Chain A
Amino acid sequence: MSIKHSLLVMLQQQQRYGFELREEFERSTGATWPLNIGQVYTTLDRLERDGLVKDMGTDEAGHRYYEITDTGCQEARDWFNTPVAPSTPPRNELAIKLALALSTPGVDTGAVIQTQRLATIQTMQGYVRARREADRENKAEDLSWRFVLESLIYSAEAELKWLDHCEAKMSSMARASRSNAPRETTPSQPPTQAKRTNTATLEETR
């Protein structure tokens, strides 16, 4: 998350002081990503050092106001005009967990998927309920907040669809594995202990 650019964008509208910037940021994003006031002041110091904002002094109440510079305005415009770079994929604990479950004997990957599915749908139910409550309170007029909330809903949905995909893939592999298995063992080939795969484990637990 770019605190630097978020602060610049809010300063484009008017001069503001640190606490006010934090309040405005949290109002716009529904307090989904709360900002530490220390982060705000540290970032403002850096922006001033880089010539992107100017310190306009303090008012009678002791609020130190900042104003965006022309360079800062250009930086904010560039931010909007540049897509968010898909840099290194963030570490996804769930993907790592499933990958390890598949390769770990004795772990029921199907159960791991279902446990996650249940938790994610419950989280999603909470998001949808929060959106409906906001609608009732007319918070829906605040489009910024609604966009943030719906981003969480769509992300949760993507995770659930990915879980469905993983489960379907495991089922089809288990079916293929069964259909390719030899029907009977010849006397010259004594039965060896069946290699227990995770897909087989999943099928057995159904």
Chain B
Amino acid sequence: MRQILELASVTKTYGSGDTTVAALRDVSFGVEAGEFVAVMGPSGSGKSSLLALAGGLDMASHGEVYIQDTPLSSLGLAELARIRRRAVGYVFQDFNLIPTLTAVENAALPLELEGWKPSKAHRVARNALRQVGIEHLADRFMDQLSGGQQQRVAIARAIIGERSLILADEPTGALDSVTGNGVLEVLRERADAGAAVVMVTHEPRHAAWADRVVFLKDGRIVDQSSVQGDPNSLLVTG
């Protein structure tokens, strides 16, 4: 499998001198195409910093972040913005949608920022909304949608243009369990379709949807789990 994201010995510190705080310490891990990775850890363990670095929203103090083999530190601001728009999709806990735009306009935004004609961008956005099961809500504004529907719009915006890396920060945090499962199903399907998905969560039940769970503590990876063997073998207790 092709590696989409790689963090190589990444350290991230904030502040300087006596007030320096290390958010990540010598973290190395990669995510392949088609892989769904969950990141867990207590508050302050570095989860959000890891996601920000993985998406090029922040830069490593030491080490290197690669997206599709491109070292982010080698890029200028314009190139970095371009790779973020084309290769990376973000899903946030509070959706970060624009209330004055409809669902299809929100989903189409990354393509329009790339200079696409609105009509073409909207056609592709409708397709993305169809993939997340809400094409019929395309012309609704955000206050006309439930939390789960808004999160699906946010996922549509994140996957539009076949972006290969999807980063999700507590994407189910504001949703009830049934709606949250629907969102996880969409992320899982994107991974099964070939995207690399990294999701930060504090809910074990949600992390268990992933192929691999990475545990962070005090800025370091302390463990990683993966699904092993035949799951049905777990269901017989004897």
Question: Which residues of the partner chain A approach B222 to less than 8 Å between Cβ atoms?
Answer: 114
Q: Which of A32, A123, A124 contacts B236 (CB 8 A)?
A: A32
How far apart sit A164 and B211, CA to CA, in the bound complex (Å)?
21
Contacts of A160 in B (CB 8 A): 204
Across the interface, which residues of B come within 8 angstroms of A130, CB to CB? 231-232, 234-235
Known: A118-B223, A168-B42, A206-B217. A125 touches B208 (CB 8 A): yes
Q: Is the CB of A34 within 8 A of B208?
A: no
Q: Does B226 contact A (CB under 8 A)?
A: yes
CB within 8 Å of A: which of B220-238? 222-223, 225-229, 231-238
Is there an interface contact between B237 and A206, defined as CB atoms closer than 8 Å?
no
| Contacting pair B231 A121 (CB below 8 A) | no
Give the chain B neighbours of A124 by CB distance below 8 A.
204-205, 208
Q: Is A129 located at the chain interface by the 8 A CB criterion?
A: yes
> Can you list, as one digit per residue, whether each of A148-171 has a CB less than 8 Å from chain B (1) or not (0)?
010011101100110010011000
Note all chain A residues with C-beta closer than 8 A to B238. Answer: 34
The residue in chain A whose Cβ has the minimal distance to the Cβ of B227 is A125
Q: Which residue of B lies closest to A124 (CB)?
A: B208
Chain B 157-191, CB within 8 Å of chain A: the 1/0 string?
A: 00000000000000000000000000000001000
Please tell me if the beta carbons of B207 and A31 are within 8 angstroms of each other in the complex: no
Q: Is B234 within 8 A of A126, CB to CB?
A: yes
CA distance in complex: A154, B177 (Å): 12
Which residues of chain A come closer than 8 Å to B233, judged between CB atoms? 126
Interface size on A (CB < 8 Å)? 33
Closest residue of chain B to A164 (Cβ to Cβ) is B42
Q: Does A39 contact B (CB under 8 A)?
A: no
CB < 8 Å neighbour of A31 from B223, B229, B236: B236
Within 8 Å of chain B (Cβ to Cβ): is A127?
A: yes
Question: Is A133 engaged at the interface, CB distance under 8 Å to the other chain?
Answer: yes
* Distance, CA A127 to CA B228, complexed state (A): 11
Q: Which of B28-49 contact A (CB under 8 A)?
A: 40, 42
Q: Roughly how many angstroms separate A167 CA and B217 CA in the complex, as a whole number?
A: 11
Contacts of A133 in B (CB 8 A): 231-232
* Minimal beta-carbon separation of B209 from chain A (angstroms): 5
In the complex, chain A residues whose CB is within 8 Å of the CB of B203: 157
A117 proximal to B (CB < 8 A):
yes
Chain A positions within 8 Å of B135 at CB level: none
- Chain A residues lying within 8 Å of B210, measured Cβ to Cβ, are 125
Q: A117-B223, A125-B227, A127-B234 are in contact. List 13 more A-B contacts (CB 8 A).
A: A32-B236, A34-B238, A114-B223, A117-B215, A121-B208, A121-B225, A124-B205, A125-B226, A126-B227, A127-B231, A130-B232, A149-B235, A157-B203
28 contacts between A and B (CB under 8 A): A32-B237, A34-B236, A114-B215, A114-B222, A114-B223, A117-B223, A118-B223, A120-B204, A121-B40, A121-B204, A121-B207, A122-B226, A122-B227, A123-B234, A125-B208, A125-B213, A125-B225, A126-B227, A126-B228, A127-B231, A128-B209, A130-B234, A130-B235, A156-B204, A157-B205, A164-B42, A167-B42, A168-B42
